[in-house]
Amino acid sequence: MTRNYCTYFDQRYLLLGLTLHQSLLKHAGDFRLWILCFDADTYHLLEKMRLDRVELIRLNEFENADLLAVKSSRTLVEYFWTATPDLPLYIFRRDPSIEQITYLDADLFFFAPPDPIEQAFGDGSILIVEHRYSPDLMYLRAESGIYNVSLLTFRHDVNALACLNWWRARCLEWCYARAEDGKMGDQKYLDDWPQRFPGVVVLKHAGCGVAPWNIQNYHIRQRDYGVWVDNVPLIFYHFHQFKALGPHEFDLAQRYRLTHDQIDLIYRPYIVAVQAAIGRIELIAPDFRASYFSRNAVTELKRIVKRHWHIIRV
C-alpha cells in the first residue's frame, strides 16, 4: 500500500521541508507526500524542482470560506495551526481512495524506515505521539500539552473523520500562540483524544518523536550503521527550533541542552541534508534566496535567555 503523507510550509521552512522529503525518499518506500504551499514562490519553486512522489497544493485551492473568515484574526503561525486539521480532510475529499494519511511537521527527519509506526497503528483510527518531556522540562506539559502535533495518522473512517471535524471546529473557534483556559494553539486540544474518540493509538516506540525536549531521557549511540535510542533504532527526530542562519551556519536548538554525541549523531547528518537542499535550490533557481534566520535575532535571544546555545559553523 502506498503511504500517504502531508505537510505544509512557506519559504521560511522550505529548506526543512525539502530535507524531510529527502529522508522519506531514502526510508519510506512507496509513498506520496502532499505539500500545501503557503506562498506562491514556494509553489513555483517546488513545481520547477519536479520532486519525486510529491503532490503540490496551491493555497487558493485549499483555503475555504471558514478559514478565510478567521485569517485576519490570526498571525501567520496561528493561521498555519488553524489550517492543520483541514489538510487531511482536504486530501480525503480530493482522493477518496486514500485509506489513511499521516500529517508531518516540516521539521521532522527520518533516520530509518517508518515500519514501526505502521505496526503500532495496526487497526487503529487515529495515531498520536506524546511529548515525553525530560524531567527538567516536565513543567512544559501544563502549557504545551501531553501530545505533540508533529506526526498524526488518520484512517479514512468514521472515528478519524469525527476527530478531524471536531478538531477543525475547535481551531476555527480559538487557535492562538498563547496558553489560555486550558488551550494552546492547535495542540492542547489533543489532550483528551484517547478518552473522547474511539480507536486512538498512542505511539510508544522510543525511536519515534525524539526531540530536544525529551532527548535527555535516552542514550543515543551509533550501532549497526544507524542511530539508536536506547535499544531501538531512531525512526524520526523533531528538529524543533533548528534554524539555518546561512548556508554554513546553523542554530541547532535554542535554549535546549544537547550533548556532543547528540550533536554528532543526530544534528550533523541533518545539517548535511539541509545543505544538500540548499544546493538543489541553487541548481534550479540560482536567484531564489532561502529565508535564513536573522543572526541579530539570535544574538538578542541569547542576551535575554541565558541558557544553552548550540551554533555550528560548517
pLDDT digits (tens, 9 = 90+) for 20-30: 999 999 999 99
Beta strand ranges found along the chain (DSSP E): 3-9, 31-37, 54-57, 100-104, 108-110, 126-130, 147-155, 179-180, 183-184, 200-203, 208-210, 220-223, 226-229, 232-233, 236-238, 243-246, 249-251, 311-313
**Tens of pLDDT along 139-163?**
999 999 999 999 999 999 999 999 9
Structure confidence at residue 310 (pLDDT): 67
What domains lie within the chain, and their CATH numbers?
A: 3-313 (3.90.550.10)
Q: What mean pLDDT is reported for the chain?
A: 93
- β-pairing, 31-37 vs 3-9, is parallel
pLDDT digits (tens, 9 = 90+) for 221-264: 999 889 999 999 999 999 999 999 888 899 998 779 999 999 99
Query: Which grid cell sits at 222?
Result: 551509533
Q: Is the pLDDT of residue 57 over 80?
A: yes
89-98, 243-252, 282-291: range with lowest mean pLDDT: 282-291
The neighbouring-strand residues paired with 36 are 8, 57
- Dihedral pair phi/psi, residue 184, rounded to 5°: -155, 110
Alpha carbon distance 8, 105 (integer Å): 7
Instruction: Provide mean pLDDT across the span 192-217.
Output: 98
